[in-house]
Amino acid sequence: MKAIIVKPPAAGVQISNVNEKDLSNYGYLKIRTLYSGVCGTDREVVNGKLILSELPKGKDFLVLGHEAIGKVEESYEGFSEGDMVMPVNRRGCGVCKNCLVGRSDFCETGNFREAGIVGMDGFMREQWYDDPRYLVRIPKSLEDIGILAQPLADVEKSVEEIFEVQKRVPIWSCDDGTLNCRKVLIVGTGPIGVLFSLLFRTLGIKVWISNKREPNETEQILLEEARINYYNSVNDYEELSRKVGKFDVIIEATGADAGLITKILPLLERNGVVGLFGFPVSGSATIDFKSIQQIVHANKVFLGLVNGQKPHFQLAVSHLASWKTLYPKTSKNLITDTVSIDEEKEVLKILKEKRRGEIKMRISWD
């Protein structure tokens, strides 16, 4: 069957005809692939830059792909033929308590596997077999944007964890019982930044999103429709601080240089949280003793945010569904383009580099 394969740590990607028996499967429910999503992590694997990427044990290649929607081929354990499903991409270590209760986002051993990335064939192939435990139902009405449920699941988990952590503050809600008075700064306007901003807006929170340039046209639609504020950070964050004040939550969603953390720290409000989502690839965060005093004195938190599990996929499905009603124009822009697996050259191209203005690219397999 056709599959997109990589050979980490080597760079490179190819569309191959692979023998069914050379591919790993994870259960007995047969799924035919409909769509794959392409994400920055895929490109890091393809370009040989993701150090933690690992071949499945005893194999010399890895099927790429951790964002997928498929169609159930044979009814099985609560799923019916024709149902659309999305696989959860991280699979538990099988040993620790958190993995046993379906929460390998908090795996204690670190021995989880990640489809298409670490030690487990991904879903960029014509079909696979899986375990219903790891499958999330995607309603037909979400065929268009449902592929975003995977990255959005990571964002859902992050926001859930931030709110969980803020329960340490006796009253963090506003005078009207909501969180509408709280302000969030999201640094980075990639797909993750966009999903964070839509989710925080859905929850009523005031959102600022920043990048080192003016917003593009697609972003303008998002900003207007969801009433999000934009800040051009090309000259750093002082102007933002002066005009808007401090932020209750700051999300680092660039995965750029770690030095960014030093710059955004002064914008954090008392009792606030810096959520670290992006994987920085260079530099260092330097926090001087006066800033540490401020962290101590004002109950500030730094929080590493990673991976959503099945409950977060389900939340993501519900929020995507709501956005089609709440933010209809933005919803239509979320999928930048869909490329057929038959257009091999174009598929390989989008796997290697980001398309200009891209939010999310899809490969269709049908």
195-254 residues in contact with its own copies (CB under 8 A) are 202-204
75 binds its own copies per the rule CB under 8 A: no
SS3 57: coil
Which of 11, 95, 234, 292 forms a contact with its own copies (CB under 8 A)? 292
Scanning 13-21, 137-145, 185-193, 210-218 for contacts with its own copies by CB under 8 A, the matching segment is 137-145
Residue number, 48 or 311, with CB nearest to its own copies: 311
Q: State the nearest-atom distance from the C-beta of 130 to its own copies, in Å.
A: 13
Q: State the nearest-atom distance from the C-beta of 141 to its own copies, in Å.
A: 5
Q: What is the DSSP string of 112-149?
A: -EEETTBEE--S-BSEEEE-GGGEEE--GGGTTTGGGH
How far apart are the two ends of the chain, measured CA to CA in Å?
13
Q: State the nearest-atom distance from the C-beta of 33 to its own copies, in Å.
A: 22
SS3 28: coil
Which of 19, 21, 58, 289 forms a contact with its own copies (CB under 8 A)? 289
Distance CA 138, CA 152 (A): 14
Pick out residues in 103-122 that bind its own copies (CB under 8 A). 103, 105-108, 110
Q: What b/e string do you get for 303-314 counting C-beta neighbours within 10 Å, with b at 16 or more?
A: bebebbbbbbbb
295 binds its own copies per the rule CB under 8 A: yes
8 Å CB contact between 204 and 316: no
Which of 16, 24, 47, 98 forms a contact with its own copies (CB under 8 A)? 98
Scanning 34-42, 68-76, 93-101, 230-238 for contacts with its own copies by CB under 8 A, the matching segment is 93-101
Residue number, 223 or 326, with CB nearest to its own copies: 326
Query: What angle in degrees, to the nearest 10, is found between the helix axes of 149-166 and 191-202?
Result: 50
Distance CA 103, CA 115 (A): 16
Pick out residues in 34-73 that bind its own copies (CB under 8 A). none
Scanning 29-37, 56-64, 211-219, 268-276 for contacts with its own copies by CB under 8 A, the matching segment is 268-276
H or E element at residue 206: strand 206-211
Distance CA 274, CA 178 (A): 21
Residue number, 292 or 340, with CB nearest to its own copies: 292
